[in-house]
Amino acid sequence: MEATLRENISQLVGSAPVYLFMKGNPTFPQCGFSNQVVQILKAYDIEFGHFNVLEDPEVRQGIKEFSEWPTIPQLYINKEFIGGCDIVREAWESGELTEWLQGAFPEKTINAPKPPARPKNITPAEAQGLMGQGGYRFLDVRTHEERDIAKVDGFDLLDQELAQEILNSWDKETPMVFMCHFGGRSSQACEYFAGQGFQQVFNVDGGIDAWSETVDSSVPRY
């Protein structure tokens, strides 16, 4: 790594007691892992510096060499590299993160928030079984166009208006089942809402494609 780049990264790391290299920004994270770390830090009600590596390919590559860690996000506390999403989450659950943040903000009382729930993958058959239990909400995170091709009755389209309603007024204990085409987008949605404090989030593994294959063959595949 060039000395100038190393110095620039060192200055970024030292510019705040807590500093996060991420994809996107805290208002609009652009990957699920970055979002998880952001939501954890926000839950502590602390200020933290941040850098969007998507805007600077040189820093994006350089930070991996700087920390000797291959992925983004990367969290630093008091200039010390902590780790990525999994390590931050484990530190939150163990209480270590609270201690580290208290050291970063000695003048502030740091209270540990409740750790986010871990999203659970379920099969289409299991999701179908939950439909008869009552109380569950079923959310389709695909596009309008995809839904016109194939849909499962009982799943509501998760558009921006409904997402805002969920965040503003739904009980955090509301069990929510997410589904998309193959399971990727719904998994990200699960991570997001878990990060927002929802305690019961489920992802339909394999999405509506697996639903058609294993539960109801009348649902078109595309």
| pLDDT, tens digit (0-9, with 9 covering 90-100), for 28-73 | 899 989 988 998 999 898 999 999 999 999 999 999 999 999 999 9
Q: Report how many domains make up the chain.
A: 2
Instruction: Please indicate, yes or no, if residue 25 is contained in any of the structural domains.
Output: yes
Residue with tokens 């996000």: 73
pLDDT band, very low/low/confident/very high, at 132 (cuts 50, 70, 90): confident
- Say whether both 127 and 99 belong to one domain: no
Which domain CATH number covers 38? Answer: 3.40.30.10
Q: Which domain holds residue 80?
A: 3-104
Question: In sequence order, which residues have a C-beta less than 8 Å from that of residue 198 and are 6 or more positions away?
Answer: 117, 170, 172, 173, 174, 176
- Say whether both 84 and 169 belong to one domain: no
pLDDT of residue 111: 87
Query: Distance between CA 140 and CA 208 in Å, rounded?
Result: 9
| pLDDT, tens digit (0-9, with 9 covering 90-100), for 106-127 | 999 998 877 667 899 999 999 9
- Pick from 79, 104, 129: which residue ends a domain? 104
- Say whether both 98 and 29 belong to one domain: yes
Look up the pTM and report it: 0.60
